[in-house]
Amino acid sequence: MTEITSASAKTIAQAICGKEISAVEVVQAHLDRIAEINDKLNAVVRLCADRAMQEARAADDALARDDNIGPLHGVPMTLKDSLDTEGVVTTAGTIGRRDFVPNRDATLVARLRAAGAILLGKSNTPEITWSGETDNDVYGRTNNPFDLGRNPGGSSGGAAAIVSACGSPFDIGSDTGGSIRAPAHLTGIAGIKPNSGRVPRTGHVIGYTMGPIDSYTQNGPMARYVEDLALILPVISGPDWIDPAIVDMPLGEPTNVNLSNLRVAFYTDPPGFKPPDEDTRNTVQSAVNALTNIAASIEEDVPKPLTRVPELNDRTSEGDGGAGTRRLLDKIGATDISPRLAKWLDKAELIPTEDFTKALEDLDHYRSEMLQFMRAYDVIISPTTATAAQPHGEYSKEEGYAIYTHPYNLTGWPATVVRCGTSSEGLPIGVQVVARPWREDVSLAVAAFLESTLGGWQKPPI
């Protein structure tokens, strides 16, 4: 396998199990690739080279003994620095945790390792995942592999950048308002925000004790290929009997989905949203045109409740005046924070209790109305953000960066992003594929179809 660093995790696992290549060779190839590109990207902020090679040798020995092996046996991975990793510094991008070393793995990390995956290192994240640009005072800024002067997105920007640039087959991101989907779109890879209640958040910096925000936050895989999302998601799903929101709900197989039965809605420019640029609009239309040839029906239709999303999100996630964030910082021992986060906390507006409870009531109404809209459809196709990757620093000036992704954090529904086009400047553009509650299989099946039809990931020039 001459291009092992651009292969899918599924292909790598099959090649290792078939003894076409050793785990040692695979891990070394990825470590070499990280060494080649990371000075430019600043995507991997903590490397575990010696440990990874030791685990790779153990994986090869296990295969030689014909031991029982998992679906990710010998496959390397990186992990977002907001996820606890036993024995490996986990800062969550905040200087108050610069030297924090967890004594246990996050639930999903333990599951991945039990399935045979090997940790190469930790990928960069903004402070406590709280930004659409991946930059912090511990490790600095991460760059986009398609243009080093541009933003790879946030908060899973390190994960997206290193996967896109072939330094890792996959990573695990977190998504509170689009933090898996926007970076995937901006770097040309695939990523899924699973349904709320699918993947335990135990051991993630934003865990299961953050009130409304914890219902918005989900962890999910990011990879170059949709088939890898389908491979990894079952490994990390299901109750751990710690996170109280997780449901033992069956997870469908994407290859069993009959696309010809699907009813598809799409929109490009909902009222009150930042209008997409021409390249983004054309890319969504390309996805719609592809689906027109296979789906049962497809029509342009905008859920009316979307107009309420910005206010609902602000009132439910920030209406406590930042008290929840302060408790989180206290819980994780982050006594020292960046001036940026301190400024946000100082400006956070505390609303009266009756207004906050009204916001939660309004959130329930929003979710109910969205469910009623979805009775007529199986899938929604939309932009991920209004543009392709922007120059560094533009995120803080850009209103509505996550406006297309926030609606589905509020509903909790699954949403996958896959590359479907290219901007006039040669930058990737991803399309968002939203499905009904608990139907990650449908979202992934449609994304896989669009990937095969419109091209999917393409190697960046770095």
Catalytic residue among 156, 179, 423, 443: 179
Distance linking the first and last C-alpha atoms of the chain: 21
Give Cα 160 to chain centroid, integer Å: 8
- The torsion region of residue 129 among left (phi > 0), alpha (psi -120 to 50) and beta comes to left
Three-state DSSP class for residue 383:
strand
Question: Which H or E run includes 362?
Answer: helix 353-374
- How far apart CA 36 and CA 28 sit, in angstroms, is 12
Catalytic residue among 8, 131, 155, 286: 155
> CB-based contacts of 83: which residues, under 8 Å, 6+ apart?
90, 106, 108, 109, 172, 174, 203, 204, 205, 219
- The torsion region of residue 277 among left (phi > 0), alpha (psi -120 to 50) and beta comes to beta
Closest by alpha carbon to 72, among 232, 200, 224, 225? 232
- How far apart CA 256 and CA 261 sit, in angstroms, is 12
Active-site residue flag, 155:
yes
Catalytic residue among 10, 22, 80, 131: 80
Residues labelled catalytic: 80, 155, 179
